[in-house]
Every structure is written in structure tokens, then in C-alpha cells.
Structure 1
Amino acid sequence: MTPAVNTRRPLPMADHVRGKRSAVTCELECANACLGAECNTSANEDFRSIASAVFSRRALFGLGAAAAVAVAVGVGRGAPVSAPGAAGIGGAGIPSGRPGRAGLAFRPIAPVPAEVDAMTVPDGYAWKPIIRWGDPLFSRTPAFDLAGQTPEAQAEQFGYNCDYLDIVADPSGKTGVLVNNHEYVNPQLMFPPTQDASELRRRGDVYKAAQGMSVVDIRRRKVGEPWSYVVDGGRNRRITVETRFELTGPAAGSDLLKTSADPEGRWVHGTLGNCAGGTTPWGTILSGEENFNGYFAWAADTPQQKRYSASSTTSTSTGWEKYDPRFDAHNPDYVNEPNRFGYIVEIDPQNASSTPRKHTAMGRFKHEGANIHVASDGRVVAYMGDDERGDYLYKFVSKNRMSGSRKKNLTLLSEGDLFVAKFSGDSPASEITGTGALPSDGAFDGTGEWIPLTRGGKSAVAGFTTEEVLVYTRLAADAVGATKMDRPEDVEPNPVTGKIYVALTNNSRRTVVDEANPVTGNRYGHVLELTETAGHSGTTFGWSVLLLCGDPATFENAYFAGFPKELVSPISCPDNVAFDSAGDLWISTDGAPSTIGYGDGLFKVPLTGDERGHVQQFLSVPRDAETCGPVIHDTEGLVFVAVQHPGEDGTFAAPRSLFPDYGSTAPGDVATAPRPSVVQVYRG
């Protein structure tokens, strides 16, 4: 991209097609991480022997601190959509070979071709948005005006690309609060091209206001009905790139976090790349700062910089570095500014005036999110994935225990110990062929160890100070020999069973396989199931591959926990996971169009009994969109998803989607623009 003129350069589509996403999404969301060299160049099996030579303190730390719309449907009842000319799932021409079990009853939809611009839900269900990009949160806020966006208006309107979502009902069940992340923006869909420097700067401030998070009051007439959002709700709030955050934990105040604007290293303006998240037992919301590196112009000329971004950059898609010095890490006054992003953020949705916090004790990497389980000893355990090829799975164990005091619980994530996972398989290496064919014992499985990076709040890694472990966490994890994974995204404990589920989206460039990552060129991704063998605050676990994703019609070794593969819905690129009241797994996807040719969607997967592994597609999102969230309130017959980047490959003048309003096609008409939205699906 050339930010100065707000036009798009030719994109290397072939490489992206091998991966999981649209080329546009890759450039805007993750700064083309999948095209560059892998950040993790460690050889963990012999890393300890070379750590002192290659990563001495001096070597490491002495160098400075989308075309016209094809199909459009309005809000309303859904129906299965079948690919033209396809035989259907299992070759039977039907959405599923057998019905799903009790719970949220639905007949699975057939896979929807990637080019269809429709929100598709099961027969008997309907959908509608709760809130869309640009919807005003306050009566004083202007209504959304596609042709007249301003920073001031956007700072009080619902933000852009929506990702992590939760719907938290109050005790009455008739009111509640919606919290949503806004991961990144797409300038080509928000504005027409321009070469005017002052206009580009003004737009840059709109981009700042469109990212971050939204907290919005919601209400309904009675329990079980769909929700509406509340203008002027007492909890309504926008958190943006300019919101003030407090740094907590051992690295707060470190020289590695100080800038000329914050000589104490304790306060940060803004949050960036907010992807998935989690909701704590004490009612706060956690958000993961993921692809923060793409917002900075930086040199990537030191080991610690290279480990977070393998290539140097002089410009970004937002253009902020041209007028805001803190986004130009070439500037010696702000060389540490990128070190102030990449954390787990905690906000209190009940208090619109509270100061959000960034928890350094939980490490710095490309956090997809964080999800908490309360261990049997009362400590809280947060599970986290680092979403990059060849990076790691982590968990954080609090120092203190949950109590009846919300005030005390609000400090739990500021102190504790950080661990990284090392996996071992139980099959001979010769049986892990890279094809996905099961070994002779019939399963990809084994044991694992949580290796400490901090103990008692202090460094547990030789050659690293505590601050270095927590700011350069990837390097510390390299040094202890963690297992390279295929892009660990959402990692969540099952609230019914306590087992942990890990969504590994894909890694099309994997060449060396192991039993936990058993497919060479893993385009479709897989899901792991972990069982803590010494309690959730312990250091050992067992694991197995639950799913090897893909379309069974084209990937013969696709695996669904032993369930007959001819009866499942095709699924590719698992991203976010959630659970219903029965403990069944729900998976949202990001990348199916470029890997199996179908739109991304939401899938239910039972985990016990005869139905274990029976993947069933519940919905499909519109053209170019990613399915985020999700939230499953199955006892009320409600499912919620955040629909991110609909029509991503289009332009302001030629949108590829009209979701969610499906209105006129007159340029500049509000209904012309694809609007990322939070959608609820209900029985209709």
C-alpha cells in the first residue's frame, strides 16, 4: 500500500491463496506476516547450547533500549445454500448425514460458495444486527455518514472491524452490556482515494477513533428475545488509540517501556490490533493486542525487533508515522513505543470512567486473547496463544487467589507466573509422515510440559532479567525450547469439563512436522484438546488432536475425532472457539474461501459420546467476511457473532458486499458500504 495517496499496490495473490486469507486482509490486518520470513528462527532442540553465545545480554539488549455484489439478501429467515453442481456433504446432496443431538436444535446448513454475499442461517432461524460500524452511542453523536466521516463522530460511534465479543446479561436478564474489539481498518472501503496530505492526516485520526473497543448497553423486553443497543447507555464507552492505559506488573516502569512522552514507563496511549479476548469471573473483559507491529515504522535491525517483525518498514497502512512521532520507531525518542503494545488488556465494562490496564506479567507477544479457568487451589489460570507461524502456546497462573472482593480480584492478573508449552508425542517419528495419516496407535497424542518463564514473579530464564522475559517474551520462550505451533489462536478452557481447546489456524509453510503439528504445509488448520494432569495451576498435561480440518472430499486424511468424515460439514482455518451450556465446542473460521472455496462460518462440534467430532455448520457469513466472536446462549436459542471485514476485497466505489443493510448501490449511500457488525441469530 502507498499511504500517501491511499491507493493499493498490486498484491502477491498467489502466496496468499496458499495460505488462509484475502491478500487485502493480510496486508491490513497482519502486515503480510505470512509472506515475510518466519520471525522464529530458533532451533529449539539445541537452543540452550547456543543461547549464551548468540543471545548474550550484550547481543540481545545492548542495541537500544473488492467488484459489484453477486448476491444480496436482506434481514430475514435463513435457508441452506448448496454449491452449484456440488454433490453436497458426504456426496448425499444434504447438509448432514444424520441429525445433531439435543441442545440448540438446528439442521446444519450446506457449505456456502465463497462468492455469495449473504448471511446464511439454518431453516427456522432469522438474523439481524445489534449494532453496526458507525452507529452512534450517544444522542449527541451524529448519525453515520459514509461521505462525511469525522474523528469526533467516530470516537462516539461503534468502531470498525469487530472481533472479540461478549454479551453479558444483568441479573434481570432484560438488560446487559455488549463488549466488542475493533481490530483494524480498511481505508479503501471507508474513503475514496485522495492525494491531499491534510485530508490523509484527517482520515488517519478517523482510523485512530475507529479502532480499540466498544462497550454498549443493551436491552430487550423479556428473556429469550433478541437484544437492541441503548443510545446514551450509562456504560456506553469507546476505547481508542488515544485512550490512556496503565501498565501493571513487573515490567511497568522498566527502561524498556520508557519514551520521551512517558519517562516513567507506566502509561500508554491506546490499544492496537485487538483480536480475541475473554471475560473474567469478576466481570471484566480481556482483550489481546495481536498484530501491533504493523502500526509502526521501524528498523527491525536488532534481535528483539526482528523477533516481533522480521522486516523493516518505513510506512504503514494508516500513515500515522507521518505526523505522530510515536508511531515512527526510527525516532530515538520513541524506539520503545512498540514495546508498549502486545499485551493483554483488561477493562471494566461496568465503570465507564475506569482506567484500562495492560498486564505485563502475562507477557508480550501477538496475543490472540486470554481465557480464564479458576484452578482448584483458587488461583486463576489464563490460557493464551501467540498468533504467528512457529510461535507458542502460553499460560499465566496468578500469585493470589480469587476472593469475594471484586477490588482484590481486579489485581489478580498483575502478579503471577508465565509458562510456555512444550509438546511430546508418543508415536515413533517415522510414523508422523506429514500427510495427516494417523500413526499406528490411531491418534496424534502425547504429553506436555509447561516450562516456567517466570517463577515467583522473577525471571526463570538464564540470561534474561524479569523485564526482558516480559517485554521480549518470544525470545525467552525460544531459549527454553518451547514447541513451534501452527499459529495458535484462541485457547479456551471448557467450563463443563475443564479441558483446554486450542485452535491452530494453519501454517502453509510448515516443512518439519511433529505429532502435535502433523501436517506438512498445513493449509486447513487443526484443533488440539489438552487435559491438565496436575491441575490447572500445575506444569504437566496430556493432549490429542481433536480435528484435522479440511474438506473430506479433497483432503483424504481430514480427521474428526473418529467420527465418520463423510457425515461432517467441511471446515477450514479454525479461529475462535466457544462453548454452549452442554460443553459442546463451537468454532468460528477465518480463511475457508482461499482454502476450501466456501465462505467462513460457525460450526458446532459435540465432544462426548457417539456424536464426538460431528462437525455441523450453523451459519455462514457474507462474501470476504470472517466469523468472529462467537457467543452461544443456547438455553435461550440465541447465537451471536461479530462479522468482520465483509466485502474486504472491494473499494469505496465498487463494494463487493452490501452487508448488513443490503440497500441501494448509489456511491456514498450509507447502505452501499459493507459495515462490520455484531449479529444475533434467533428462532424466527
Structure 2
Amino acid sequence: MTSIPLPLISVHDGSSARSSLTCRYKCGDACFHEVPNTSKGEYFGDIVKTAMTRRGILKGGAMTVLAVGAGGLLAACSSDPAPTPGGATTTGDATPVQGFDFTAVAPNTEDAVVVPDGYEQAVVIRWGDPVIEGAPAFDFDNQTAAAQEMQFGFNNDFAGLLPIDGSSTDYLLVTNHEYTTEPFLFKGYDAENPTQEQFAIGLAAHGLSVVQVKGENGTGKLTPAFGKYNRRITGTTEFVVTGPAAGSDFLKTSVDPTGTKVLGTFNNCSGGVTPWGTVLSGEENFNQYFANAESVTDTTVADRLARYGVEGAASDRKWERFDKRFDLAQEPNEVNRFGWIVELNPWDPTAAPIKHTALGRFKHEAATIYVTDDDTVVAYSGDDERFDYMYKFVSSRKMMSGNGQAALRNNVTLLDAGTLHVAKLTGDAPDQIDGSGKLPASGEFAGKGEWIPILRTGEDGKGTSLVDGMSAEEVAVFTRVAGDKVGATKMDRPEDFEPNPVTGKVYVALTNNTNRGTEGKAAADEANPRDKNKNGQVLEIDDDHAGTSFTWKLLIVAGDPSAADTYFGGFDKTKVSPISCPDNLAFDPSGNLWISTDGNALDSNDGLFRVVLDGDRRGDTQQFLTVPAGAETCGPIVQEQRVVVSVQHPGESDDASADAPMSHWPDGGDSQPRPSVVAVWKA
């Protein structure tokens, strides 16, 4: 293939290639703003100064659901592939990696999804495609909110495939719709004067979609179909609040004086398929939707808003002009009703989705589930902000096996009783970390950790604070403040957590943090070993899942393999693909890790990578696909027959808009770019 020059993309913070326009609408310009965590809580730098003067298996009644959500047998890649009998791939004398072999895709700037030779691809569903029977055909120039409420939403992120009982080829595809980029939704968009209909379309384009898809024997193709489970969740869908913050004064508004019902969900980033067949979704950068924080005069309230990055006067979307709930001057508690883990039962289109307050409120990237041998359920979640924290929730209830209604009724309450913890890490060689990314003398970055309990929720749904000076409701609603108080470790944007279904080890994508080690900010430490970290790293945790202790190592310190500050689990760096800004994670059944990226800082498109975790090829990292120019790779699913990815914000550039698109993916010609879900399979 011939690479084409990538149109100008503003490198707005000196690292990520994400355009500043994307940053504005996706995360509220987080990179341009002061870091919300100004706490003086302990971090590795403090520990250095002081120092110097069990494994299980994922299981459950819906094991087939979990297997599909977690991965499949798709296969080995190598920078120098040499196929061997049985479909394995070897590199020199290295141990073969089982599965289909492929030649790694080279970095590129194509306006296309680029897959390895010998693989095919097809779009599954696009923004605007019908989800509900009777939905009108998509018409970019004549959009309506009524139509969008029945159509596939914008900027799909997480994707999960749930098998439909009685069929070997049919699934429910459940996706998040993280955010809207209004200059790419509407021609002639006036950011200072949006219309009422544009506001309503934006509300409808957020949320989630549930759509039945039909597979084909012998290929990985998936085709949407109308089915009884098809459903759209939008910015006006009613949610039920459970856990210790339900009914709290912090959640009460004039529309909902009970504090137990919320309209809508926003900025849903990644998620997870539970072993009991539901879907979890994380509300992430919710702060940007709310206006007039500067009008708040109560200093305690103002400090709490600032800790969550809620600031300024008018919002970018100006939604407060059309609905007072987005105006903090009129509804100061509305913002507290977002930032939760959402659970959706896709098998009951009449069931209200749930916001689980026992898991804490922060910028959740996702929540993923691990089940111990005694059926204890553990939920892991990262707070995707520079210098914020890693959390886990250990349920006090046991998962019930089986696919029946009794099991489901029990299991959808598992996240409403238990203990929420925040992570504190220490390194094995703190005096050897200087911010350069240089390996300690041991040849690896490693250490120990502790899960500090901060909130316990009882069987009655009432909470008990485990943090001095904070009530249970305060810990649930202002969880970041609780983490500050107990000295949690400040991380480099902890995003997706994924437990390995083979080994039980837990992996965390730490995307980047260009503020690390800068003036007044936390210094580099062993888990975050580089100052001005623009490429990110992947953390490997060997956790006592239901307990409070763990050990950890860095699996990958990402970037250009030829750079001295990169590390690939000890594997030969001349044989790996460049990787930057790890975001979402997935596994195949053999236990190989798959990483999707967001904001590649190496002047090429984002992609999906496979990493070997064990043996003499530990750290072997190969690129399986790349997404179009300006796009982000999201929601990877790795199955036996196919890989599925969400292609988010294709063609978003500071030099483009709906009036002057830089991308025409996926439909070609002079069409507008459309976020889409794509399936890839071996020919």
C-alpha cells in the first residue's frame, strides 16, 4: 500500500496526535486544563525520600457470554512470521504462539481500516443505521432527534457480543456512544448558537445501542437485524440509582426530589460483559456537559466541582440553554448524578438501566468483572485522568450460576453490596527511578501494592465510610476526595482493566501523562517511570482478588522500540511493532493480550495490537490492524472467527468539519465520515 500524508492534526499537548477539536468534545479539553488532583497525598516520590533519609478462573452461569466478550482463538502475529503446522507462528527459535498467523500491519496514515494480508473486513453498523424497526434511512442533511432515537448513535466505543440462546451464529451487539462532535454532525454548525433540534439530536446520539446481529458460517461477517431485544438508550432514558448514594441529598434535584432516578447517561467510554449476561458501561468525562460552575459561591461545593474538572461558565455544547439540568446555577446537584458505573440488562428491553453508586463516582473508563473460586465477584475500574487512581469493588454477595431468571435477579444486585478499595503502590527499586525510563538493575519495573478500603455497603444498601472525616454518602459521591485522603497512588491515566481468563492476572492500560515530573506535579515512580510520559504503559497485577494485597510489574513501556525509554517485557525490541497510548484491552482464550490505542504519538494511525504474555516471547507486540486517519481504535472483541473493533471519530481534524471532511470512510466517494463497528476475519 502507499501511505498518504495525514492532514494536519494539532498536537495540542506535545504528545497525543488526537486533534484539539476531538479533545474539546470528547474530554472537555482535559489536556489544556489544570490537573484536578492537587492533593498532597503520598506518591512514589515521597516513598523514595522516606526510604533514602492468587490466581483463579473467570466463571459464571453465562460462560458463553463471557467467552465472547473476553476473546477467542484469533491469532499469532510476528514481525518475521514463519508458519508451522497447526497454524502456529514462530520467530527464530522462539516458542510458537498458537492460532492463525499473520504478518504485522505496518504503521500508516491511510483513510481506511488496514488489516493483514489474508484477512477480510466489513462494516457491521454505522452511525445513523436503523436499530429500531421503522427507523428512517439515515439522511445526513435532514437529521431529526426522532430519527436518531431509533438509529445507531454517534462515536461508538465499547462493543460486546452476547450469544443468543439456541443459535450458533446470532448475537446481541451492545455498544456505547461516548460523545458527539457537533462540527462533524451538522453542516454549518455555529458553536455559539446551536439550535434546539441540534441539542435534541445530540442527546439522542449519546448512550448505548442494543442490536441483534446475524453471523455467517465460515466467515466473521455480522449483519444487523431487527429483533425483540433491539433498543436505544439515550440522554433522556430513565435510570434507577442503587447503593449508598441513592436518595442522598447530593443527588436530589427539582425534577427528582427523591434522588433515585436519573435521566440519561453521557460520555460512556469503555465497559464490560458480565458473567451473568449484562453489560457494564463507564460514565467518563461527564464534567464538560455542565455550565456555570463559576457561579457557585459555596467553597466546599466549588472545591468538589474543581476536583472533578467542572469549571467555567458556558459549556461547549451550550445545552444549558435548552435544559436547566445542565446549568449548575439552577440545578447544582445534577452533575453528581453522572460519573457512575451503569449496568444494562440487554435481555429485557423494559428494564431500567442501573447506576451503581457502591462502585464510587469518578471518570470511569470501564468496569470489568473477575469471579473467584468461591463465587466472589470483583469489579475493577480506572479513573481516566492524569494523576488519578485505580479502584476495585469486592462484592459481599455470591454469584449464582445458571441462566435462569432467579440467577439473573440475584446477580444484578451483586454490585450493590460490598467494599470499594483504592490502590496504593510501592516499587522494589525506588532509588533507581530518575524519570528517564531507565530500567532498574533488576531488569524490570516491579513492586507491591495495597488495596485500601474506603467504603463498605451493607445488605440494606446503606454505606459505612472507612475514611476519616467523610460520610458514606460523601465517599460514594466524591470518591476522588476519599482517594486523596488515604494517599492513593497517582497514576498516568488508568483506563481499561482486564483480568486474564487463563491466569487471573489483571492488566491496566495507562495511556499517558505529559504532566508527570513537571513543576509542582508528582515525580516519576516505578509504575509511572517517565517524565512527560507521552506514550503510556501497561501494568500487570498479580492480585489477591478478594483480598487487599498484590504484586505488580510493567509489561510494556510503550513508544518507538528504538527509543531507550521503551520496554516490551524483556522481548527483543527490534522485533516488535511501535505502539503508543494504550487504551482498551481484551484477551483471546489462549491468554494473549490485545491492546487498542488512542492518540498515537508516533505519527501514524491508531491500531490494535496482540501481545504475548508468557514464555520466551513475553512482550512480543505486533500490530493487527490500523483505523482510518483521525480515528481511535475502541471496543476490541477477539473471537475464534473474528475480531471486532469500534472505529471512533474517523476524520476528526482541526482542519476538517462536516463542511470540509478530510475522511470519507467508510462509504467512500464524497460521503461524510461515520463512526462504525467493523468485523475482521481470516479469508
Q: TM-score w.r.t. structure 2 length?
A: 0.86
User: Does the Cα contact within 8 Å between 2:174 and 2:210 map onto a contact in 1?
Assistant: yes
Q: Which amino acid aligns with 1:306?
A: A
Deviation at 1:170, TM superposition (A): 2.2
Name the counterpart of 1:551: 560
Identity across the alignment (%): 49
Deviation at 1:395, TM superposition (A): 0.2
Q: Which amino acid aligns with 2:146?
A: E
Deviation at 1:113, TM superposition (A): 2.6
User: Does the Cα contact within 8 Å between 1:19 and 1:34 map onto a contact in 2?
Assistant: no
Name the counterpart of 2:57: none
Equivalent residue in structure 2 for 1:521, among 504, 529, 532: 532
Deviation at 1:198, TM superposition (A): 8.6
Equivalent residue in structure 2 for 1:646, among 643, 646, 650: 650
User: Does the Cα contact within 8 Å between 1:395 and 1:419 map onto a contact in 2?
Assistant: yes
1:59-114 CA-to-partner distances (Å, cap 9, x unmatched) read: xxxxxxxxxxxxxxxxxxxxxxxxxxxxx979xxxx99769944442323343333
Name the counterpart of 2:4: none
Deviation at 1:369, TM superposition (A): 0.1
Equivalent residue in structure 2 for 1:214, among 201, 206, 209: 209
Instruction: Give 3-state SS (helix, strand or coil) of 1:587's partner.
Output: strand
Name the counterpart of 1:59: none
Q: Which amino acid aligns with 2:126?
A: R
Name the counterpart of 2:283: 289
Name the counterpart of 2:84: none
Name the counterpart of 1:175: 170
Q: Which amino acid aligns with 1:455?
A: R
Q: Which amino acid aligns with 1:154?
A: Q
> Could you tell me how far apart the structure 2 residues matched to 1:576 and 1:651 are?
27
Name the counterpart of 1:542: 551
Matches within 5 A, 1:150-189: 150-171=144-165, 172-189=167-184
Instruction: Give 3-state SS (helix, strand or coil) of 1:321's partner.
Output: helix
Name the counterpart of 2:270: 276
> Could you tell me how far apart the structure 1 residues matched to 2:362 and 2:231 are?
27
1:656-676 CA-to-partner distances (Å, cap 9, x unmatched) read: 1111111x22xxxxxx11010
Name the counterpart of 1:54: none
User: Does the Cα contact within 8 Å between 1:126 and 1:682 map onto a contact in 2?
Assistant: yes
User: Does the Cα contact within 8 Å between 2:95 and 2:615 map onto a contact in 1?
Assistant: no
Q: Which amino acid aligns with 1:629?
A: G
Name the counterpart of 1:317: 316
Name the counterpart of 1:683: 682
RMSD over equivalenced CA pairs, Å: 2.2
User: Does the Cα contact within 8 Å between 2:292 and 2:312 map onto a contact in 1?
Assistant: yes
Name the counterpart of 2:445: 444
> Could you tell me how far apart the structure 2 residues matched to 1:204 and 1:270 are?
14
User: Does the Cα contact within 8 Å between 1:189 and 1:651 map onto a contact in 2?
Assistant: yes
Counterpart check, 1:401 vs 2:424: no
Residue range with higher mean Cα deviation, 359-368 or 180-189: 180-189
Name the counterpart of 1:8: none
User: Does the Cα contact within 8 Å between 1:487 and 1:507 map onto a contact in 2?
Assistant: yes
Kindly tell me: are residues 445 and 21 of structure 1, through their superposed partners in 2, closer, same or farther at Cα, counting changes over 3 Å? same
Name the counterpart of 2:362: 365
Q: Which amino acid aligns with 1:330?
A: A
Name the counterpart of 1:431: 432
Deviation at 1:416, TM superposition (A): 1.2
> Could you tell me how far apart the structure 2 residues matched to 1:340 and 1:96 are?
51
Deviation at 1:223, TM superposition (A): 6.7
> Could you tell me how far apart the structure 1 residues matched to 2:12 and 2:516 are?
14
Kindly tell me: are residues 567 and 194 of structure 1, through their superposed partners in 2, closer, same or farther at Cα, counting changes over 3 Å? closer
> Could you tell me how far apart the structure 2 residues matched to 1:257 and 1:369 are?
22
Equivalent residue in structure 1 for 2:136, among 130, 142, 153: 142
1:493-536 CA-to-partner distances (Å, cap 9, x unmatched) read: 1111100000000001100111111111110000000001xx31
> Could you tell me how far apart the structure 1 residues matched to 2:43 and 2:106 are?
45
Residue range with higher mean Cα deviation, 350-359 or 189-198: 189-198
Q: TM-score w.r.t. structure 1 length?
A: 0.86
Equivalent residue in structure 1 for 2:36, among 39, 42, 46: 39
> Could you tell me how far apart the structure 2 residues matched to 1:21 and 1:433 are?
28
Kindly tell me: are residues 186 and 459 of structure 1, through their superposed partners in 2, closer, same or farther at Cα, counting changes over 3 Å? same
Name the counterpart of 1:305: 305
- Name stretches of at least 5 consecutive residues in structure 2 with no aligned partner: 1-7, 45-77, 81-88, 297-301, 402-406, 458-462, 518-522
Q: Which amino acid aligns with 1:433?
A: D
Name the counterpart of 1:61: none
Name the counterpart of 2:594: 586
Deviation at 1:43, TM superposition (A): 1.1
1:562-603 CA-to-partner distances (Å, cap 9, x unmatched) read: 0000100000000000000101000000011xx111110000
Kindly tell me: are residues 185 and 402 of structure 1, through their superposed partners in 2, closer, same or farther at Cα, counting changes over 3 Å? same
Kindly tell me: are residues 542 and 147 of structure 1, through their superposed partners in 2, closer, same or farther at Cα, counting changes over 3 Å? same
- Name stretches of at least 5 consecutive residues in structure 1 with no aligned partner: 1-10, 48-87, 666-671
Deviation at 1:393, TM superposition (A): 0.3
Deviation at 1:199, TM superposition (A): 6.5
Matches within 5 A, 1:18-57: 18-19=15-16, 21-45=18-42
> Could you tell me how far apart the structure 2 residues matched to 1:591 and 1:198 are?
30
Instruction: Give 3-state SS (helix, strand or coil) of 1:326's partner.
Output: helix
> Could you tell me how far apart the structure 1 residues matched to 2:558 and 2:335 are?
35
User: Does the Cα contact within 8 Å between 1:106 and 1:122 map onto a contact in 2?
Assistant: no
Deviation at 1:360, TM superposition (A): 0.3
Name the counterpart of 2:632: 626
Deviation at 1:192, TM superposition (A): 1.3
Deviation at 1:384, TM superposition (A): 0.3
Deviation at 1:463, TM superposition (A): 0.5
Kindly tell me: are residues 96 and 575 of structure 1, through their superposed partners in 2, closer, same or farther at Cα, counting changes over 3 Å? farther
User: Does the Cα contact within 8 Å between 1:165 and 1:630 map onto a contact in 2?
Assistant: yes
Kindly tell me: are residues 223 and 216 of structure 1, through their superposed partners in 2, closer, same or farther at Cα, counting changes over 3 Å? farther
Equivalent residue in structure 2 for 1:420, among 422, 433, 446: 422
Name the counterpart of 2:515: 509
Deviation at 1:194, TM superposition (A): 4.6
Kindly tell me: are residues 377 and 482 of structure 1, through their superposed partners in 2, closer, same or farther at Cα, counting changes over 3 Å? same
Name the counterpart of 1:263: 257
Instruction: Give 3-state SS (helix, strand or coil) of 1:441's partner.
Output: coil
Instruction: Give 3-state SS (helix, strand or coil) of 2:32's partner.
Output: coil
Deviation at 1:139, TM superposition (A): 3.4
Deviation at 1:218, TM superposition (A): 1.1
Q: Which amino acid aligns with 1:303?
A: D
Name the counterpart of 1:465: 471
Instruction: Give 3-state SS (helix, strand or coil) of 2:591's partner.
Output: coil
User: Does the Cα contact within 8 Å between 1:423 and 1:448 map onto a contact in 2?
Assistant: yes
Q: Which amino acid aligns with 1:186?
A: T
User: Does the Cα contact within 8 Å between 1:28 and 1:186 map onto a contact in 2?
Assistant: yes
Name the counterpart of 1:71: none
Q: Which amino acid aligns with 1:531?
A: D
Question: How many pairs does the alignment contain?
Answer: 611
Instruction: Give 3-state SS (helix, strand or coil) of 1:44's partner.
Output: coil
Name the counterpart of 1:498: 504
Deviation at 1:377, TM superposition (A): 3.0
Residue range with higher mean Cα deviation, 520-529 or 396-405: 396-405
Deviation at 1:298, TM superposition (A): 3.4
Instruction: Give 3-state SS (helix, strand or coil) of 1:29's partner.
Output: helix
> Could you tell me how far apart the structure 1 residues matched to 2:248 and 2:664 are?
48
Q: Which amino acid aligns with 1:326?
A: R
